[in-house]
Amino acid sequence: MAKNDILGETLWDAYSDKVTTLMNNPTHQGEITEETAAANGNKLIVADFGAESCGDAVRLYWEIDPGDKIVNSKFKSFGCGTAIASSDVMTELCIGKTVQEAVKITNIDVEFALRDNPETPAVPPQKMHCSVMAYDVIKKAASLYLGVSEESFEDEIIVCECARVSLGTIQEVIKLNDLKTVEEITDYTKAGGFCKSCIKPGGHEDREWYLVDILENTRKEMDEEKMAAAADAGSAGEFATMTLVQKIKAVDAIIDESVRQFLIMDGGDMEIIDIKDSGEYIDIYIRYLGACNGCASSSTGTLYAIESTLKEKLAQNIRVLPI
């Protein structure tokens, strides 16, 4: 059957040549019997996993020797061509590994192995769930062999199953890079860049965690931390003894609380470039952004307001120097 007869040229081009080849000619499709495994002195593990979101299912066969090594593996896939291709590569990756090594194979490894080149995804975003299913059936097989729960293989909360991005990673990246949009989270972590179900409710499957909520809650935590830092600095008079990072956070908190909203109302903003202690003064270097850059008031009234606020709340020997 010609490519255009199956999916249409545009969509078909989103699949790698490896995927399209394995759709119709998988290498490891089949089954392993108890008799075959026993005759080789090995143990047979058969694991089933189905994806409720799309109705696909996969059965994985592992023939495991006494040393926990997977000496042979087969699969049966009940679903789309992408599920067949993903399952075939997943099976290939398992062979020769111990069970403990195989359980470390992720859907990212499966998708990457299906690529024709490292830079181009093997499948369109809406088909990433097929490689996730391959990862899940590996966990199921390993849990059956080792006699443990599947959850024992996960030590983090995974928010984006497609890119295997954890809750902790997303929260940390938001804080470290001061991210303000879901699009920025995707740029930094790839979370939400594939099937998009983890971005907000309403995708092809329900999730416990969504990027929109994580972003909102993390930004609230960041604001609370800034306010706490500012309160501590103002009440204890310890601004001069803070580290550079602590000083920047304290200044930023005061700016967010008392100044930034007025700059934004006029189409501008500001950022802290550096803080230096010159002995007599604590010099805070800032850069005006947007409409504030080049505004006549930026070197008079606006500058006085910023400096006065920081002096009142942090330290009297502060100087604000625009650059």
CATH number 3.90.1010.10 is the correct assignment for the domain at 3-154: yes
Q: What CATH topology corresponds to 237-322?
A: GMP Synthetase; Chain A, domain 3 (3.30.300)
Q: What is the model's pTM?
A: 0.54
How high is the pLDDT of residue 297? 84
**Active-site residue, from 54, 94, 198, 292:** 54
* Ramachandran area for residue 74 (φ above 0: left; ψ -120 to 50: alpha; else beta): beta
Q: Do domains 3-154 and 237-322 have the same CATH topology?
A: no
Q: Which tokens hold the place of 253?
A: 């908190």
Cα-based distances in Å from 193 to 255, 271, 291, 306:
34, 30, 34, 40
Q: 56 phi and psi, to 5 degrees?
A: -75, 155
Tens place of pLDDT per residue across the chain (323 aa): 344 444 444 566 788 999 999 998 999 999 999 999 999 999 999 999 876 555 678 999 999 999 999 999 999 988 788 889 999 999 999 999 999 999 988 877 888 899 999 888 888 876 777 777 888 899 999 999 999 988 777 667 889 888 778 898 899 888 877 889 999 998 878 889 888 889 999 877 788 999 999 999 999 998 888 777 666 655 445 788 888 888 888 898 889 888 998 899 888 999 999 999 988 899 999 999 999 888 888 889 999 999 999 998 888 999 999 98
- How many angstroms separate the CA atoms of 304 and 323, rounded? 15
* DSSP string for 7-36: T-HHHHTTS-HHHHHHHHS-SSBS---HHH
Residues 6+ apart with CB under 8 A from 86: 110, 111, 114, 130, 131, 133, 134
Place of tokens 């007599």: 280
The structural domains of the chain, with segments of one domain joined by +, span 3-154, 160-219, 237-322
**Active-site residue, from 94, 130, 162, 198:** 130
User: Where in 18-154 does DSSP place strands (E)?
Assistant: 43-50, 57-64, 70-78
80 is catalytic: no
